[in-house]
Chains A and B, each alone.
Chain A
Amino acid sequence: MQYKSQAVARLYFIAAIGLFVAQILFGLIMGLQYVVGDFLFPAIPFNVARMVHTNALIVWLLMGFMGAAYYMVPEESETELFSPKLAVLMFWVFLAAAALTVLGYLLVPYAGLAKMTGNDLLPTMGREFLEQPLPTKVGIVVVALVFLFNITMTVLKGKKTAISLVLLLGLWGLALFFLFSFYNPDNVVKDKFYWWWVVHLWVEGVWELILGAILAFVLIKVTGVDREVIEKWLYVIVTLTLITGIIGTGHHYYWIGTPEYWQWWGSIFSALEPIPFFAMTLFAFNMVNRRRREHPNKAATLWALGTGVMSFLGAGVWGFLHTLAPVNFYTHGTQITAAHGHMAFYGAYVMVVLTMISYAMPILRGRAANPGKAQVAEMWAFWLMTVSIVFITLFLTAAGILQIWLQRVAATPMSFMDAQDQVALFYWMREWAGVVFLTGLVVYITSFFVKGETAKA
């Protein structure tokens, strides 16, 4: 690596992969509970498994983003990190907070956890994805602010590039919008309205800036295409993202008590949200086709291309599938949402973090790229995980269509649980696809330990 302080990224990447494993294991537990309802009950009820599954995902992606920033910013700014010590300290704080939170979820009944952690002082818990106890939420804010201070100071003292500017805007936006997690009015309509300012404006807003910046950085490195060209693409993509995605928030405001004009604003703008993702696909393939060097890290290039394709399919196509209000009237709150969520998170954010890890980790370990055999294993992992997430998505989509028909469209609608029994076959197939995903993840981790000849970084 070019700058010594980039080494802090390694800690973040290792912890990210560890939490990724936890996420998948709890995903498999939940998947089985869908068909064997009393599996692990009452030790791990479904809601607890789900909290661990989703919160581990969020935290490991944040760890990945932070690791990526610590790796990228010194190279972009052509200077050492403002404070590597602070970066290491914040890593341990974040990891400890994440571990304690997960242990709290698993070992203490949620109501007890709320009482113990001062939820009465400022009730913020018990809302989807924002289940974290108050001290954890405060911890996230502290870690994020110290991290942002560190990164911003580094950029300020060094060279300012478009990539670091977009990355910084994304990261500052992430911290800013998280503050809405502390706003929890009794009024359910207002609660839900501003809850989306965290959730939507993260994943369909500022996170896409981080995604774009990471992808642009890796593409410059592996293709050798002029920075000028790549940065122009980056600006165009993030422009498209925000001009569609900000008002696209309206596609969550159809049925939660908000005014009906959102059905128009939400439908029109969110129907355009696939465009930036399509631009991202074109971007990745174009840059790789115009490459000026053959980078020895083939696996990283594969991940970068995969991000382009899968984010378009998962976030773009599967998002569009149910974003128009007249369609969403039937699909809202069904397995269609789950199908979209799985492929979108994997295709956009999981894959971009794995792209960064794939590119940076060998260099952090003192080599230009991993040995050939290790790269082959990593590419097997890529295909196993990617193909199985496609099947998970297809099975959940099938389950969703059937569920909607039986429960919401048929002349004599079935109750929720009766409809669930009818679609059980698809849940079984989803679970088996999940087992393949886990196999891919095991192969992925194994690839880090495959030895062989390497060139020095």
Chain B
Amino acid sequence: MAGTFTTSMARNMFFGGTVFFLLVFLALTFQNEQIIPQRDQRAQLDANPAIAAGKKLWETNQCIGCHTLLGEGAYFAPELGNVYKRRGPEFIKAWIKTQPTNTPGRRQMPQFNFTEQQLDELVAFLKYVSEINTSNWPPNIEG
């Protein structure tokens, strides 16, 4: 902190630096919006309303409170971004229906009493997520 470096110089550096890098970030975000249509499977969303319904079920039952989805969420239960590929639709539905296992000492998943239609919507959502281009993450099928 030499005498030549004044507080007002420090302040200008702060404002200048922040604005500059914020603009770079916004430019990157703009570029991001141009590219993601090739990766995010948005055509599926328009074609199949069950996916949005499934996402809403995913949210209103707080699945993210135990599971991860594309690696984000809680680390208490398996990754579900690729569960459609790992287990397939019938296994997923059967699994959700038979919870909780009530095995003493094991981690328990609640019973959500979904209808058959809701189960199909959840599966549609999980199928859609499994087809997003995630740059080959996760490293293997176990998630």
- A residues neighboring B (CB under 8 Å): 30, 33-34, 36-38, 41-42, 45-48, 50-51, 110-111, 114-115, 119, 123, 125-128, 131, 162, 184, 186-190, 192-193, 228-229, 231-233, 235-236, 238-239, 242-243, 246-247, 249-250, 253-263, 265, 329-330, 332-335, 337-338, 407-409, 413-417, 420
Contacts and interface: CB of A to CB of B under 8 A. Distances in A.
Contacts, number: 223
Contacts of B129: 188
A50, A189, A261 — which one has the most chain B CB atoms within 10 A of its CB?
A: A189
Contact of A250 (B28, B40, B55, B143): B28
Q: Which 3 A-B pairs give the minimum distances between C-beta atoms?
A: A47-B65, A126-B59, A333-B71
Contacts of B137: 254-255, 329, 332
B18 A242 contact: yes
Interface of B: 1, 5-7, 10-11, 13-14, 17-18, 20-22, 24-25, 28, 31-32, 35-36, 39-40, 42, 45, 51-52, 55-56, 58-66, 68-79, 100, 102-108, 110, 112, 128-129, 132-135, 137-143
B139 A329 contact: yes
A266 to B, nearest CB: 10
Nearest to A336: B75
A236 B10 contact: yes
8 contacts: A36-B105, A46-B66, A188-B132, A231-B7, A242-B22, A246-B25, A253-B32, A256-B134
B72 A111 contact: no
Contacts of A184: 59
B17 A190 contact: no
Contacts of B72: 128, 192, 256, 333
B42 A246 contact: no
A311 B94 CA distance: 46
Nearest to B134: A255
Contact of A246 (B1, B22, B69, B100): B22
Given A46-B74, A236-B10, A417-B78, 6 more contacts: A37-B106, A111-B112, A126-B59, A186-B45, A232-B7, A257-B132
Given A235-B7, A407-B142, A413-B140, A47 B107 contact: no
A418 to B, nearest CB: 9
Contact of A41 (B31, B55, B100, B133): B100
Contacts of A232: 1, 5-7, 10
Given A330-B139, A416-B143, A247 B77 contact: no
Contacts of B63: 47, 126
Contacts of B22: 242, 246
A259 B105 contact: no
Contact of A193 (B13, B32, B62, B110): B32
B25 A256 contact: no
Contacts of B32: 193, 253, 258-259, 262
Contact of B108 (A34, A37, A127): A37
